[in-house]
Amino acid sequence: MTTANLLVELFVEELPPKALQKLGDAFASVLHAQLVAQGLAARDGVCTAYASPRRLAAHITGVLAQAPDKAVSQKLMPVAVGLAADGQATPALLKKLAALGADAAAVAGLKRIHDGKAEVLYFESTAQGAILAEGLQKALDEALAKLPIPKVMRYQLQDGWSSVHFVRPAHGLVALHGSSVVPVQALGLTAGRSTQGHRFEAAVQPVQLQDADSYARQLQDEGAVIASFAERRAAIAEQLAKAAAQVGGGVRAIEDEALLDEVTALVERPNVLVCQFEEEFLAVPQECLILTMKANQKYFPLLDAEGKLTHQFLVVSNICPQDASAVIQGNERVVRPRLADAKFFFDQDRKKTLVSRVEQLDKVVYHNQLGTQGERVARVRAIAQAIGAQLFEALAAQHAIDGTQDAEVVQDYLMTCVDNAALLAKTDLVTDMVGEFPELQGTMGAYYAINDGLPDDVAHAIEDHYKPRFAGDSLPRNNVGLVVALADKLETLVGMFGIGNLPTGDRDPFALRRHALGVIRMLAERDLPLRLGALLDAAVPAFGAKIADPSAALQDFIYERLAGSLREQGYSAQEVDAVLALRPQQLALVPRQLAAVRAFAQLPEAPALAAANKRVTNILKKADAVDAHVNPELLQEQAEQDLYVQLQRFVPEADAQFAAGDFTASLQTLAVLRAPVDAFFDDVMVNAEQLDVRLNRLGLLKTLHQAMNRVADLSRLAA
């Protein structure tokens, strides 16, 4: 069989930059998979994807000109149906064979195979292997059909009559098997060997490809195009680092993987240039300047060694002129109005205080069932007050509030900060800056709060109350921010669950999963002494009659998110299940409970105790309500007497360790009960005929069960 490497390229108008990498990978992977499915390419062959602003391409190694023939065995019908008593073919069998291109002469060669129920006739033949031209046509059609196109456009072909639907108008198709053109068609185009290089800097136009393997080299040498997305991205990253080093002073380009990907999708021949703007613009918060340069212009701002924005930035140009001054000046001229707009918005916004903007929130609709942003702010304030009271009282009891000052004064100050931050947290939504750049909500509120002379605790809480915004994001930096962030997220969760607006599948428009994980992270990672049920109890009343109480369903939702998060952190499903089965209310304690369960599971006594605990659980489920009460005088058997004595001896010690938060020690103390528990089940009949004896034994098991399952449901560890 003749094999050679294959190159397929589709040349198009500029592709959507944010989708380019996915389009390139999908085009190559589907093309390869389809060729493999037809036997034209090896599964372990190398498939290289190429994607530039104006092309999608794939290079596949070891592609056959024709796939090998393949033996085919086709099930026809039961022998009793296909053959008459005299062994002659029935009309039904002859009709079936004719449909397969065979006649009565094939009857003698049919195989008989018993399928377990009856003897069945099979027709065996040889299918000719696919020819590359036909197989590639099928693969190409499939690859184009399965492209993850964000938005399809319709355009006319050159004949003026036909039209096709594709992501962008296509102008060229290349299909080379070695050095030979494969005659395939797509989107009104017929494959050839010519493609286009860079619009302005190609040495040759068009580029005539010699063979499949010369594609990337010829495009770079003759067409001034780096076809590989990965190579182009690496070249840009290298040039950014070199340009920053040339500027000196320890500056570095801002790190933004998404921006780097987008710029890679915008240029074919990257050339990084250093530009600058007037230093007076640095008086504007750097978040505003950075965002406008990145989002609107696709520039890379330069930061100094301390992370502060400088007045210089990097541009990734798509041309490499000998004198780049015109390109530099053009980019500097373009960015100046953007920065001037940001400065104007900032100056205008500071003319009004945040407090004066509160009333405007009454005119902004939040949700048609939950009211305006003003109503939402009132709910967040009420929830924040309730949570703040819970938190600061708990911290005062733990002496976690600064003991050098009067605790009541400190608590009053913190509660005032909480209320002010909750009142003002959403006011920057009606500022000009956030209206232009919604991504700056919270950030601008903090700047304006400082401008209004509010305490840093309030300003930081306004900025931080959206945190964590994404996985791995930082948490609010102080307790005021934590309280307001919890109130904000709980308001969203309770409100949406209360009106039945729940996430489904991949659809979660109000980011309820993210909010739930945010609540979990704040409670656990900041070790907050707050109970989940009490938090929901604080949030539900703020809605009045607008919602039905969703606490039960919302708790289940939060525990599901917690379980998934813990498994991602490396805890086993058994460990997570054992701890969360108890529905722990203080999520801050869950990591210690998991550590205790993991340590307990390593003990030699653990499997037997887990199995016994499972048995006890099943016994108590079948029994009516049982009190954990034991009358020593009704203990008849030596084994139950011994178990009672051991419980009296070790349970108080384990309880004291549990109360002190030493969950690992508590479980290890109870591990000594293995022998008396085993003896109890070997020698004692729990369901004794005498009622008082039976109830006493059930009470003994209830006492054991309560002692063993304070940290986790150990029965979940049983194999």
- Look at the block and give the residue holding tokens 């919602």: 547
CA geometry: angle 410, 456, 433, nearest 5 deg: 145
Residue 31 pLDDT: 96
On the question of pLDDT at 328 being above 80, the answer is yes
On the question of pLDDT at 400 being above 70, the answer is no
| 487 within domain boundaries | yes
- The structure tokens listed for 61 are 């190694």
Average pLDDT score over residue span 582-591: 95
Q: Do 550 and 628 share a domain, yes or no?
A: no
293/303 Cα distance (integer angstroms): 13
248/673 Cα distance (integer angstroms): 69
| 577 within domain boundaries | no
Q: Do 12 and 101 share a domain, yes or no?
A: no
* Band (505; pLDDT cuts 50, 70, 90): confident
3-state secondary structure of 380: helix
* Band (437; pLDDT cuts 50, 70, 90): very high
Residue 356: CB partners within 8 Å, gap ≥ 6?
none
620/686 Cα distance (integer angstroms): 11
The answer to whether 533 touches 500, Cβ cutoff 8 Å, is no
CA geometry: angle 281, 284, 291, nearest 5 deg: 95
On the question of pLDDT at 280 being above 80, the answer is yes
Q: Which domain covers residue 527, as residue numbers?
A: 356-570
Mean pLDDT across the chain = 92
| 349 within domain boundaries | no
Instruction: Give φ, ψ of 309 to 5 degrees.
Output: -65, 135
Cross-strand partners of 75:
122
Q: Do 405 and 448 share a domain, yes or no?
A: yes
Q: Do 458 and 511 share a domain, yes or no?
A: yes
The answer to whether 401 touches 407, Cβ cutoff 8 Å, is yes
Average pLDDT score over residue span 666-681: 91
Residue 529 pLDDT: 93
CA geometry: angle 117, 120, 124, nearest 5 deg: 145
In this structure, what DSSP letter does residue 360 have?
G
Residue 329: CB partners within 8 Å, gap ≥ 6?
none
Average pLDDT score over residue span 236-260: 95
Question: How remote is the C-alpha of 526 from its chain's centroid?
Answer: 23
On the question of pLDDT at 344 being above 90, the answer is yes
Q: Do 12 and 43 share a domain, yes or no?
A: yes
459/481 Cα distance (integer angstroms): 9
| 329 within domain boundaries | no
Parallel/antiparallel/unpaired status of strands 252-253 and 300-303:
antiparallel
On the question of pLDDT at 58 being above 90, the answer is yes
On the question of pLDDT at 491 being above 80, the answer is yes
* Band (399; pLDDT cuts 50, 70, 90): low
3-state secondary structure of 174: strand
Parallel/antiparallel/unpaired status of strands 180-181 and 119-127:
unpaired
| 583 within domain boundaries | no
Of 164, 187, 221, at which residue does a domain stop?
221
Higher pLDDT, 159 or 40: 40
Quote the percentage of the chain above a pLDDT of 70. 98
What pLDDT digit, counting tens, does each position of 184-243 carry?
999 999 999 999 999 999 999 999 999 999 999 999 999 999 999 999 999 999 999 999
Question: How remote is the C-alpha of 521 from its chain's centroid?
Answer: 16
Average pLDDT score over residue span 390-415: 77
Domain count, the chain: 5
Report which of 543, 639, 532 is spatially closest to residue 588, judged by C-alpha positions.
532
Q: Do 609 and 666 share a domain, yes or no?
A: yes
Q: Residue 77, class by beta-carbon neighbours within 10 Å (0-12 exposed, 13-18 middle, 19+ buried)? A: middle
Query: Of the given ranges (25-39, 117-131, 405-419), which has the lowest mean pLDDT?
Result: 117-131
Of 181, 196, 221, at which residue does a domain stop?
221
- The structure tokens listed for 685 are 């009949």
Of 320, 347, 378, at which residue does a domain stop?
320
Sheet of strand 119-127, all strands in order from the earlier edge strand to the far edge: 70-78, 119-127, 111-114
Q: Do 43 and 174 share a domain, yes or no?
A: yes
- The structure tokens listed for 342 are 């940001």
Which stretch, 154-168, 383-397, 520-534, has highest mean pLDDT?
520-534
In this structure, what DSSP letter does residue 317 have?
E
Q: Do 710 and 630 share a domain, yes or no?
A: yes
On the question of pLDDT at 75 being above 90, the answer is no
Q: Do 485 and 537 share a domain, yes or no?
A: yes
314/293 Cα distance (integer angstroms): 10
* Band (403; pLDDT cuts 50, 70, 90): low
- Domain of 697: which CATH number? 1.10.730.10
What pLDDT digit, counting tens, does each position of 559-572 carry?
999 999 999 999 99
Amino acid, res. 618: N
Q: Do 14 and 74 share a domain, yes or no?
A: no
pTM to 2 decimal places = 0.82
Q: How far apart are the first and last CA of the chain?
A: 55
| 335 within domain boundaries | no
Residue 162 pLDDT: 83
Report which of 487, 485, 493, 510 is spatially closest to residue 547, judged by C-alpha positions.
493
Residue 572: CB partners within 8 Å, gap ≥ 6?
none
Q: Do 619 and 551 share a domain, yes or no?
A: no
Question: Which H or E run contains 143?
Answer: helix 132-145
| 336 within domain boundaries | no
Q: Do 454 and 561 share a domain, yes or no?
A: yes
| 332 within domain boundaries | no
Average pLDDT score over residue span 630-638: 89
Quote the percentage of the chain above a pLDDT of 90. 72
Long-range contacts of 470-475 (CB under 8 A, 24+ apart): 470/514, 471/517, 475/521, 475/522, 475/525, 475/526
3-state secondary structure of 71: strand
